[in-house]
């Protein structure tokens, strides 16, 4: 059986999707070039797949493009699967709080791999490049890159993230400083974006970006399920919170109980000292 796997590049989530595809059959990888247009990209995948199953990464784009594929083929789509057994599968729902057992009522499977449910494939990636036909439906006027200081949240090796405890938009200056010293990016909780302290592009969580850095530093974040859904891919989590009972500590590898407004500048000062700057 042959499986078409849609990849975005050689990023972690795409390689995890490749692992899932390889477990289902002979996988052939494709990626799309040109401006992002989910409907046009989906049409290109539908054509390339013939009658094969289609697997994608559990990223925002992976899920969006596969949803368009499903609509165009009038077939069911299972997002964020963790295991596939023929036409039965297990998938993650509700921001990671629920594991659902489901059956696909169709001849073909359209799936995305739940982030970090599969190891990244080490197959040497040779993807066919598709050039989706945008037609008249999409005219790209301008691309506006988010202000991330150069390192995107999704790709950063270190994310310094702030929650309500930061207290204000100006309060993020000390997080920016630490992130710059660690060559990382700044993230935040939804409370912060709702308050208008940071743009939505900085939000980590169920309705924000899913990050998988080597180190996630959560400052003044309580650890709500919807936030953890976005940072549980981090290899290590350092939590700074002045409430010793905060839920975030149950997810932390390292915990500092105290006021972030004292601790974060102290870490930056120590880093400068160690580096002799």
Residues that bind ligand FAD (CB under 6 A): 163-165, 189-191, 203, 205-208, 220-222, 224, 226-227, 230, 240-243, 246, 259-261
Q: How far is the CB of 258 from ligand FAD (least distance, A)?
A: 7
- According to DSSP H, which parts of the chain are helical? 12-24, 38-49, 60-73, 173-181, 190-194, 225-231, 260-275
Q: How far is the CB of 185 from ligand FAD (least distance, A)?
A: 15
Q: Which two tokens stand for residue 169?
A: 């938009």
Instruction: Tell me if 61 sits within 8 A of 8, measured CB to CB.
Output: yes
137 versus 254: smaller Cβ distance to ligand FAD: 254
72 versus 207: smaller Cβ distance to ligand FAD: 207
Q: How far is the CB of 232 from ligand FAD (least distance, A)?
A: 12
53 versus 64: smaller Cβ distance to ligand FAD: 64
Cβ within 8 Å of residue 246, ≥6 positions away: 222, 223, 239
Q: How far is the CB of 168 from ligand FAD (least distance, A)?
A: 11
Q: Which SS3 state, helix, strand or coil, does residue 75 take?
A: coil
Q: How far is the CB of 119 from ligand FAD (least distance, A)?
A: 26
Distance CA 3, CA 84 (A): 13
19 versus 189: smaller Cβ distance to ligand FAD: 189
62 versus 208: smaller Cβ distance to ligand FAD: 208
Q: From residue 67, how far is each of 54, 72, 112, 179, 180 by CA, in Å?
A: 11, 9, 10, 35, 37
């Amino acid at each position: 059986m042959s499986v078409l796997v849609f990849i975005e590049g050689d990023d972690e989530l795409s390689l995890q999707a490749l692992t899932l595809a390889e477990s289902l059959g002979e996988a052939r990888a494709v990626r799309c070039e040109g401006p992002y247009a989910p409907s046009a990209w989906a049409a290109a995948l539908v054509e390339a797949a013939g009658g094969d199953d289609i697997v994608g990464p559990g990223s925002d784009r992976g899920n969006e493009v596969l949803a368009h594929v499903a609509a165009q083929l009038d077939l069911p789509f299972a997002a964020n699967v963790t295991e596939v057994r023929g036409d039965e599968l297990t998938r993650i729902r509700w921001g990671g709080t629920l594991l659902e057992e489901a059956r696909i009522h169709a001849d073909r499977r359209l799936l995305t791999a739940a982030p970090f449910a599969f190891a990244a494939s080490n197959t040497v990636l040779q993807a066919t490049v598709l050039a989706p036909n945008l037609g008249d439906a999409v005219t790209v006027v301008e691309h506006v890159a988010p202000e991330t200081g150069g390192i995107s949240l999704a790709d950063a090796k270190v994310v310094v993230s702030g929650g309500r405890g930061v207290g204000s938009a100006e309060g993020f200056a000390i997080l920016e400083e630490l992130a710059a010293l660690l060559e990382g990016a700044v993230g935040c909780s939804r409370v912060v974006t709702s308050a208008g302290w940071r743009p939505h592009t900085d939000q980590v969580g169920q309705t924000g970006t899913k990050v998988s850095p080597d180190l996630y530093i959560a400052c003044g974040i309580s650890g709500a399920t919807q936030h953890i859904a976005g940072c549980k891919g981090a290899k290590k989590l350092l939590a700074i919170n002045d409430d010793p009972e905060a839920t975030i500590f149950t997810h932390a590898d390292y915990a500092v109980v105290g006021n972030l407004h004292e601790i974060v500048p102290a870490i930056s000062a120590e880093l400068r000292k160690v580096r002799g700057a």
